[in-house]
Structure 1
C-alpha cells in the first residue's frame, strides 16, 4: 500500500521513533507524534511569520494507523489558511515501513500558530 501525502514538496521533518517512545501496546505514543507534528508546523509557521510563533490550537487531529518501532516517519506540511496574525498549517505523517517498501499515512491534523512580537504578544504576519 502506498499513501502519498496530500501536502506538497519534501518533508519538513523526518525522524525514527526510539524504544522509549513505545506504549504498552507496542505502538508509538500519540503524544510523541503530536510533538513531532508541532515541531514541523512550527518550522513552517516561523518561516512564514519571519519570526517567533506559538501553537495556539489543534483544530483537527486524526490518528489513522499506528506507528511502529521500526517505521521512519516523515512530516509534510502546507499552509491551509492565513489570517492577520495566525496561520493554519495542515500536517500529514507518512510512515515508511518494511525497509522502505511501503508507505502509509498514519496521522493528519491542522494546527494553528500565531506570530509573536518581542513581548510574546500576537503581531501581524508580514505581507505575502
Structure 2
C-alpha cells in the first residue's frame, strides 16, 4: 500500500449515514459508485465526449469507510486503445474527528474500463490532443 495517492484528485465527498450497511460501515456499492463517477470524469476528459463503463477489471476493499469520513478518489489513465481506456482508481479517506482530521489512508483500489461512444451509442475512436 502506498503512502500517498497516485494520480489526480478526481472527486471528494462526505460519507453519510444514508450510505451505511447493517454493520454501520459505508456500503461497498456506494464506494463503487464513487469510483465509477470519478473514473467517468477522467475518461470523458480523455476521450473528449461520451463514454460508457464496460467493465471493472479489479476492485479490492482494504478497510471500512465510516460515516463522516471525507472520501477522496484519485485516478490515472494507464492504457488508451483505439476506443477504450483503463483507469486505475484509489479511494483514500480523511477521518474527521472532533479533535481534528486524522491521517488519510487508502481504503480501496480498482481498475475501471471505459469505451468512448458516439451519439448513437456506438464505439468511436478516441482523439488525443
TM-score (norm 1): 0.93
Q: Which runs of 5+ in 1 are unaligned?
A: none
TM-score (norm 2): 0.92
Q: Could you tell me which residue of structure 2 aligns to residue 8 of structure 1?
A: 7
Task: State the aligned residue count.
Answer: 125
Query: Does the CA-based 8 Å contact 2:84-2:116 persist in structure 1?
Result: yes
Q: Which runs of 5+ in 2 are unaligned?
A: none
CA RMSD of aligned residues (A): 1.3
- Per-residue Cα deviation, 1:15-44 (whole angstroms, up to 9, x for no partner): 001111010111000000000110000000
Q: CA deviation at 1:101?
A: 2.3
Structure 1 residue runs of 4+, over 4 Å off?
none
Distance 1:105 1:36 in 2: 14
- Select 1:64's aligned residue among 38, 59, 62: 62
